[in-house]
A and B are shown apart, each in its own frame.
Chain A
């Protein structure tokens, strides 16, 4: 009898890890936001208005795909990272943001965020960034992440100055991105790639298809090829990865197994995109593949 119970308990534990039920739901996050009384303004964030802050959090909880890094900023790594808590644990995210708004500092897991005075002043003032203009909570979130997590790319830009969101102050390299997932979200990370050299994939299509079966799959890509025009003369700029996207699906075009063309669906810039590309092109732009998820749920 005891063995049967032990087996059942083991099976339940195994299944719960496989299905990986999110730790919280959007409803729980909205309830928390609803019942928390926030001050009209925060002395720590002089340029953040309460109504816009609350509206921004509600929008992120109800439509997590819409989080937008802003035009021409270097916040794409932080926006891509946000995909995880907004989908899996919106309650922790909301609690953290409320604490940040009220106290000026906040703790996520073991990490204590103590933003600099410049960051406190800057949040809510970023302009001409598309919808990020009216998203003060996102401005706070991106700025404190950039302020806290540093790497060799940020070495010559140690402190925030006006306009720093567009510079190397906010840049995210591959190692830093994976570290943020591990340290902040606590997910297991299986990463292949680097900032300079492209990883070799014998069968890229098979590799990505396998990764997509569990957890989340991020691609670290050269955005110059993916998004912008190929008119730039500088080969140097075109040679390095600059962007993180969340891959949702990959399928051979027209379901032809021999085809080199694939339809990929990915998330970036506040929405999902379907794009048809050749595998050759995809190999050329991918500098890293990060597969992550709650511990023991990814293979």
Chain B
């Protein structure tokens, strides 16, 4: 019993250290223009040719690019600013300006991923899409 306060303090300390929480509404209000820009640019570029982008490390220096075609999905990894990235985008016919803008904005916002999710509603069996941008 005499260890209880110490134990409680330890648990609170562990809880406090184990995760960081973000108030997502405040975050969105603060960065609305950049986040909306990522969403809109992605929506237009995705409609031309589907793709997704994710950052694979904490310092946001390394990114993985998923290029989706009818027969095959290509996944390549690059360092940010690597010329090979631009070559790949040009080779597969992607809008380089749009994708570079998304990458820059994702880095500044520390967004880890941008992708498109399809879902359906019933009973009309209607398809909807959702762009998700995890932090």
Report if B2 contacts A (CB, 8 A). no
B47 lies within 8 A of chain A by Cβ: no
B71 closest partner in A (C-beta): A272
By a CB distance below 8 angstroms, the chain A residues around B55 are 229
Is A175 part of the contact surface with B, judged by Cβ < 8 Å? Answer: no
Q: Is the CB of B73 within 8 A of A130?
A: no
Q: Which segment of A13-21, A165-173, A273-281 sits at the interface?
A: A273-281
The distance in angstroms between the C-alpha atoms of A85 and B125, with both chains bound, is 28
A274 and B75 alpha carbons, distance in the complex (Å)? 6
Contact of A276 among B57, B73, B76 (CB under 8 A): B76
A127 CB contacts on chain B under 8 angstroms = 119-120
B86 within 8 A of A: no
Q: Which residues of B contact A231 (CB under 8 A)?
A: 57-58, 112
A273 proximity list for chain B (CB < 8 A): 72-75
A271 near B73 (CB under 8 angstroms)?
yes
Question: Cβ of A52 < 8 Å from any Cβ of B?
Answer: yes
Q: Is B118 an interface residue (CB 8 A)?
A: yes
B residues within 8 A CB of A134?
A: 120, 125
Residues of A within 8 A of B113 (CB): 229
Report if B117 contacts A (CB, 8 A): yes
The reply on B32 being an interface residue by CB < 8 A is: no
| Interface pairs (20), CB distance under 8 Å | A52-B125, A127-B119, A130-B119, A131-B118, A133-B120, A134-B120, A134-B125, A229-B55, A229-B56, A230-B57, A230-B58, A231-B58, A231-B112, A272-B73, A273-B73, A273-B74, A273-B75, A274-B73, A275-B75, A276-B76
B42 vs chain A, min Cβ distance (A): 17
The answer to whether B72 touches A130, judged by C-beta atoms less than 8 angstroms apart, is no
Judged by a CB distance under 8 angstroms, whether A265 is at the interface is: yes
Chain A residues near B117 (CB-CB < 8 A): 71, 130
Q: Give the chain B neighbours of A133 by CB distance below 8 A.
A: 119-120
3 A-B pairs closest in CB distance: A133-B120, A275-B75, A273-B73
Within 8 Å of chain B (Cβ to Cβ): is A236? no
For the A-B complex, the count of residue pairs with Cβ-Cβ distances under 8 Å equals 46
Q: Chain B: residues with CB nearer than 8 A to chain A?
A: 54-58, 71-77, 112-113, 117-120, 125
Q: Give the nearest-CB partner of B73 in chain A.
A: A273
Residue of A nearest to B55 (CB): A229
B73 cross-chain contacts in A, Cβ below 8 A: 271-274
Chain A positions 40-78 with a Cβ under 8 Å from a chain B Cβ: 52, 71
1/0 per position for A217-261, CB-CB distance to B under 8 A? 000000000000111000000000000000000000000000000
CB-CB contacts below 8 Å: A105-142 with B:
127-131, 133-134
Interface string of A165-186 (1 = CB under 8 A from B): 0000000000000000000000
Q: How far is the CA of A131 from the CA of B127 in the complex (A)?
A: 9
CA A230 – CA B72 in complex, angstroms? 24
Partner of B72, one of A129, A274, A276: A274
| Besides A229-B112, A271-B72, A273-B72, 19 other A-B contacts (C-beta < 8 A) | A71-B117, A127-B119, A127-B120, A128-B119, A129-B119, A133-B119, A134-B120, A134-B125, A229-B54, A229-B113, A230-B57, A230-B58, A265-B72, A272-B72, A274-B72, A274-B74, A274-B75, A275-B75, A275-B76
Contacts of A128 in B (CB 8 A): 119
**B64's closest neighbor in chain A, by CB?**
A229
Cβ–Cβ < 8 Å partners of A230 in chain B: 56-58
Report how far A67 CA is from B40 CA in the complex, Å.
30
Task: Tell me, in angstroms, the Cα distance from A68 to B72 when the chains sit together.
Answer: 15
Please report the C-alpha to C-alpha distance between residue A129 and residue B54 in the assembled complex, in whole angstroms.
20
**Interchain nearest-CB distance for A139 vs B (Å):** 12
- A149–chain B nearest beta-carbon distance, Å: 28
Contacts of A129 in B (CB 8 A): 119
A52 to B122, CA, bound (A): 12
The residues in A between 281 and 295 inclusive whose CB is less than 8 angstroms from any CB of B are: none
In angstroms, Cα B56 to Cα A271, docked, is 22
